[in-house]
């Protein structure tokens, strides 16, 4: 969430950033400033009212000591009026604070200066590509057919149990999935990330803290009876570990990694592009989360990008890295890199990781600060990335490693899976 003082002091920059995103509701900037002016006026009136009450209360004490009971009683009647006014003003203040916050919730983050303007994924910048790519070779088949051929994943059985988008993994498919999770976690831990095993449900405050709420797209699963949400990513519970926390400067950077199941309604996703493992309601993912001093966060972002790049290199998959344009970035991000692997069967790139710097946007919602040597506290920068999301990684591994003898497992993963070939 943007701070209203930031909007006041950097209005031109804010409007320029929102234009980069093709954000149409530019009036919300002025609306937020006006709502804050209203809040300040009510706060001033309330403070003045309370000051008068305190002044009269002191006068009543003196009048009583001097035996001026009638004058003291008249003063008490005045305080009753001030008290009623104060209660009314407190109610108005609460309403004005809520109004301001609701406006601020609607404003997305401001893109970093390196982010280019753009409308859609077509405007993203390719900053790295590992291989030249080609289509599906003769006799090769897509991952959903490979999964059936080798009894790795059953999509129809998942439909019977839960519905479309909930596949069931069997045998070597389940084993390969588990090996990938363990490899990703170990790789992250070796890079200095502390492993965390968080809850897979969160409360409303946690959803607001990382920007998943308000859920404008209706993508989160809500457990109505308990007012809890199934997590769309481990970023949500892990980052919320630091909600309402003031860290010591010596604790930074914070580096966490977590494995979790992820749940997304994927409302409005239909058609051939969702076939197989392309888009699921439940999937496994390993996440990395960092909390940094503001001056270090973009170096940390580049370090995270190199880390994910190394993982994909180990997987021996054709991949590319894109820096997203303003129009394709997530609501909370200031800058995002996407990693995509090549799907030989579908002849298209599939996103498998997204690494982002949110600057103070989440920290302001979370009230997560750090205190330096001078004793002053300030907001941290938060970052997160997928390292990695499993479904499309699995799809690419199956499609890109099929041979006449079976599916050859990349060396690094074969060591974890104790499985060199699926046949």
pLDDT in tens, 263-296: 999 865 555 566 899 989 999 999 999 999 999 9
Is 204 known to sit in a ligand binding site?
A: no
| Closest residue by Cα to residue 365 from 193, 201, 200, 204 | 204
pLDDT on residue 268: 56
pLDDT average, residue stretch 145-152: 96
Question: In this model, does residue 159 exceed pLDDT 90?
Answer: yes
Q: Please say whether the structural domain 4-105 has been given the CATH code 1.10.287.40.
A: yes
Residue 287 assigned ligand-binding role: yes
Beta-carbon contacts of 407 under 8 Å, excluding residues fewer than 6 positions away, are: 146, 150, 397, 398, 401, 421, 422, 423
Identify the pLDDT of residue 98.
Answer: 96
- Residue 39, marked binder: no
pLDDT of residue 371: 94
Locus of tokens 């831990």: 189
Average pLDDT over residues 300-327: 97
Beta bridge partners of 260: 285
Q: So what's the pLDDT on residue 388?
A: 94
- Please tell me the predicted confidence (pLDDT) of residue 273: 60
pLDDT over 90 percentage in the chain:
81
Q: Check whether 365 is labelled as a binding-site residue.
A: no
Per-residue pLDDT at 69 exceeds 90: no
pLDDT at residue number 327: 95
Which CATH entry fits the domain spanning 121-422: 3.90.226.10, 3.40.50.10310, 3.90.1170.30, 3.30.930.10? 3.30.930.10
Residue 403 marked in a binding site: no
| Segments making up each domain of the chain, as ranges | 4-105, 121-422
Q: Check whether 11 has a pLDDT greater than 70.
A: yes
Of 187, 174, 164, 197, the closest CA to residue 281 belongs to: 164
Task: Determine the pLDDT at residue 271.
Answer: 53
pTM value? 0.90
**417, 173 in Cβ contact below 8 A?**
no
Predicted pLDDT at 137: 64
Is 69 assigned to a binding site?
no
What DSSP line would sit under 359-398, residue for residue?
ETHHHHHHT-EEE-TTS-EEE-EEEEEEEEEHHHHHHHHH
pLDDT tens digit string along 331-358?
A: 999 999 999 999 887 888 999 999 999 9
| Packed helices 11-20 and 27-65: angle between N→C axes, nearest 10 degrees | 140
Q: Write down the pLDDT at residue 269.
A: 56
Tokens 């088949």 belong to: 141
pLDDT the model gives residue 65:
74
Give the whole-angstrom CA distance, residue 220 versus residue 79.
50
Which DSSP string do the residues of 47-83 spell out, in sequence order? HHHHHHHHHHHHHHHHHHHTT-HHHHHHHHHHHHHHH
- Mean pLDDT calculated for residue range 237-266: 96
Band (pLDDT 50/70/90 cuts) for residue 81 is confident
- Split at pLDDT 50, 70, 90, the class of 79 is confident
Does the annotation flag 384 for ligand binding?
yes
Q: What pLDDT shows up at residue 190?
A: 98
State the average pLDDT over residues 46-71: 82
Cα 282 → chain centroid: 17
**Mean pLDDT computed over every residue of the chain:** 93
Q: What is the pLDDT of residues 193-211, one digit of tens each?
A: 999 999 999 999 999 999 9
**Mean pLDDT value across residues 138-145:** 86
Check whether 352 is labelled as a binding-site residue. yes
Q: Mapping DSSP to helix (H, G, I), strand (E, B) and coil, where does residue 139 land?
A: coil
Please determine whether the domains at 4-105 and 121-422 fall in the same fold group of CATH. no
């Amino acid at each position: 969430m943007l701070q209203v003082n930031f909007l006041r002091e950097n209005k031109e920059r804010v409007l320029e950033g929102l234009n980069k995103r093709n954000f149409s509701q530019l009036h919300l900037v002025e609306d937020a400033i006006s709502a804050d002016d209203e809040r300040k006026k009510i706060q001033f009136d309330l403070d003045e009212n309370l000051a008068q009450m305190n002044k009269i209360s002191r006068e009543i004490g003196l009048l009583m000591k001097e035996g001026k009971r009638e004058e003291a009683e008249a003063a008490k009647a005045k305080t009753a009026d001030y008290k009623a006014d104060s209660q009314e003003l407190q109610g108005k203040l609460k309403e004005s604070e809520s109004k301001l916050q609701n406006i601020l919730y609607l404003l997305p983050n401001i893109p970093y200066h390196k982010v280019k303007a753009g409308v859609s994924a077509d405007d993203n910048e390719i900053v790295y590509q590992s291989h030249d790519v080609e289509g599906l070779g003769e006799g090769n088949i897509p991952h959903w057919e490979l999964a059936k051929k080798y009894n790795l994943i059953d999509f129809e059985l998942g439909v019977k149990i839960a519905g479309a988008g909930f596949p069931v993994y069997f045998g070597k498919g389940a084993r390969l999935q588990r090996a990938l999770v363990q490899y990703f976690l170990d790789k992250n831990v070796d890079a200095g990330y502390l492993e965390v095993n968080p809850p897979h449900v969160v409360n409303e405050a946690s959803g607001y803290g990382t920007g998943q709420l308000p859920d404008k797209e209706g993508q989160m699963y809500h457990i109505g009876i308990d007012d809890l949400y199934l997590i769309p990513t481990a970023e949500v519970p892990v980052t919320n570990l630091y909600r309402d926390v003031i860290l010591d400067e010596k604790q930074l950077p914070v580096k966490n990694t977590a494995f979790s199941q992820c749940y997304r309604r994927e409302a409005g996703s239909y058609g051939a592009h969702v076939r197989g493992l392309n888009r699921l309601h439940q999937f496994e993912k390993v996440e990395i989360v960092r909390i940094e001093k503001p001056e270090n966060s973009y170096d940390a972002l580049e370090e995270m990008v190199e880390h994910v790049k190394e993982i994909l290199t180990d997987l021996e998959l054709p991949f590319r890295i894109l820096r997203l344009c303003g129009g394709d970035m997530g609501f909370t991000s200031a800058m995002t890199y996407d990693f995509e692997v090549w799907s030989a069967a579908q002849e298209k790139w599939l996103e498998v990781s997204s690494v982002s710097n949110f600057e103070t946007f989440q920290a302001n919602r979370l009230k997560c600060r750090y205190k330096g040597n001078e004793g002053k506290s300030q907001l941290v920068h938060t970052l997160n990335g997928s390292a990695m999301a499993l479904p499309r990684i699995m799809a690419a591994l199956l499609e890109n490693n099929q041979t006449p003898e079976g599916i050859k497992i990349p060396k690094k993963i074969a060591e974890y899976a104790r499985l060199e070939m699926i046949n």
